[in-house]
Amino acid sequence: MTAGTPIGIIGHGAIGRDLAERLLGSGYHVTVLLRAGSTSLEAVPASVGTVHTIDALIGTRPALVVEAAGQSALQTLAPALLSAGIDVVAASTGALGDPVVFDRLATAAREGGSRLVIPAGALGGLDYLAALRGTAEASVRYTSRKPPAAWRAELVAAGHDPAALSGEIVLFEGTAADAARLYPRNLNAGLTVALAAAPTPVTVRVIADPAVALNTHEIEAESDLGTASMRFANRPSPANPKTSALTAASLAAAVRRLLEPVVL
Ligand SMILES: NC(=O)C1=CN([C@@H]2O[C@H](COP(=O)(O)OP(=O)(O)OC[C@H]3O[C@@H](n4cnc5c(N)ncnc54)[C@H](OP(=O)(O)O)[C@@H]3O)[C@@H](O)[C@H]2O)C=CC1
Ligand SMILES: O=C([O-])CC(=O)C(=O)O
């Protein structure tokens, strides 16, 4: 990285704001894409550039762009960046559960000579899951376990009082794609696990658990190579309780990995 290397970020919410601070601190020049009239504009510091269109972001000639805005932003904005030869680091990986979206982005990257990068986000251990490819009898289970406060609306809709749960409630069990579609702001991590482990099948469970205080992600893998059990207990972002504070730190690590000469 040379000082002042331009980086783009889509979104300036809990993740985008934290990430921008981290990148500024490392000497990058940051430009944020926000919709005109967005309330997030108020919190953008003077040291960060702002643009309102994808063409204007491309015009800043970013070394790469990080999406931290939501599944629909990834789906609609990433193709133009990838086609223009700009690598995109995607936070909202859940959008890739739709095979049409996945193919559109993969085609844009192939044709533009760029890469769509899937970061670990709120998790870790993706290298282990990727290594299972081609291994017999492999299976992976991912469990998202968050405090009832993170699932207030869903619990009420299912007839539960979020403040009075005596034990865990399984809200969902099924595929990562269905989980990411049903819970677009909470279950990107399940799709990240599925992308890393593919074609190993992944079962996803979503649990509201009064016994946990943190956003907890559990990954269990079994195969001919052995077993793995990983657990990440993340503090929520102060700006958004659905989002783990780890996510912005993980995106900053992904930027370093892509732009610095020694790759971990
Ligand atoms: N991979 C992972 O492990 C994780 C992924 N995520 C993903 O990251 C996303 C962002 O999380 P978080 O920062 O907590 O969310 P926030 O709601 O705090 O912030 C979202 C930001 O994106 C902006 N935004 C939304 N849509 C667009 C758009 N089309 N164009 C430009 N800006 C847009 C919002 O501005 P405004 O609405 O004012 O326009 C806001 O600034 C989540 O929705 C989720 O998809 C989150 C946690 C973990
Ligand atoms: O940040 C988290 O704990 C996970 C999350 O919201 C997501 O996967 O979308």
**CATH architecture for segment(s) 126-236:** 2-Layer Sandwich (3.30)
Handedness of CA 213, 217, 222, 226 (dihedral sign): negative
Residue span(s) of the chain under CATH 3.40.50.720 come to: 6-117
Q: For residue 8, what pLDDT is reported?
A: 98
- 10-residue block means of pLDDT along the chain (264 residues)? 89 98 97 97 98 98 98 98 98 98 98 98 97 94 93 92 94 97 95 97 96 96 97 94 94 95 83
- Which two tokens mark 221? 């893998």
CA distances from 100 to 66, 115, 129, 176, 201 (A): 21, 17, 24, 16, 20
CA distances from 188 to 6, 7, 65 (A): 27, 23, 18
Element spanning 88, H or E: strand 87-90
Q: For residue 177, what pLDDT is reported?
A: 98
Q: For residue 1, what pLDDT is reported?
A: 63
Q: What CATH superfamily classification does 6-117 receive?
A: NAD(P)-binding Rossmann-like Domain (3.40.50.720)
Whether ligand 1 lies within 6 angstroms of the CB of 192 is answered as: yes
Q: Which residues are catalytic?
A: 217
Q: For residue 254, what pLDDT is reported?
A: 97
| CA separation for the pair 172, 183 (Å, rounded) | 10
> For the whole model, what pTM was predicted?
0.96
Q: For residue 149, what pLDDT is reported?
A: 85
> Which letter, b or e, does each residue of 82-111 get, where b requires 16 or more Cβ atoms within 10 Å of its Cβ?
bbbebbbbbbbbbbbbbeebbeebeebbee
List the residue whose alpha carbon is closest to atom 6 of ligand 2.
186
CA distances from 49 to 12, 52, 155 (A): 12, 11, 40
This model of the complex carries an ipTM of 0.98
Ligand 1 pocket test target in 192, 247, 251 with most atoms within 8 Å of CB:
247
240 is in an annotated binding site: no
CA 152 from centroid of its chain's CA atoms? 22
